[in-house]
Amino acid sequence: MLRFLWPKIYVDSLFEITPVLLKSRGIRALILDLDNTLVPRGAETAAPQVIDWLNTMRQEGFKLCIVSNNSQQKGGVLAHRLGIPGVFRAVKPRGRAFRKALALLGTAPEETAMIGDQLF
């Protein structure tokens, strides 16, 4: 699984990742980290700009799923607020959570991008 999780693109901000960029690479779905990617660590809500970005991705047809090491209790509340399904207590970088996310998304690894703040 780790060979699929090696970065192919580095960006300074989530907002540099555009539908055009993703579609040009054949990406149809996004697996998203929670802490320090969609929300600051410990935050209970996402910034309006993040919500706008997520809405744009949805409107452009991307499927979304959160994969987080957070508990269902913490991560699930945030995922519910964002309207995104999630896999929690993921024990990243182990592959089980990513396989579960791919099943939820109904996509193959080569058409799915993982967006997060750090390598494992």
pLDDT tens for the 120 residues of the chain, in order? 445 566 677 788 999 999 999 999 999 999 999 888 998 888 888 999 999 999 999 999 999 999 988 777 787 888 999 999 999 887 766 778 889 999 999 999 999 999 987 665
103 close to 75: Cβ distance less than 8 angstroms: no
Identity of the amino acid at 76: G
pLDDT of residue 73: 77
Per-domain residue ranges for the chain? 29-115
Helix segments in the chain, DSSP class H: 19-24, 48-59, 72-82, 95-105
Q: Does domain 29-115 have CATH number 3.40.50.1000?
A: yes
pTM for the predicted model, two decimal places: 0.89
Structure tokens at 53: 């970005």
Question: Rounded CA gap, 118 and 120, in Å?
Answer: 6
Structure tokens at 42: 């410990």
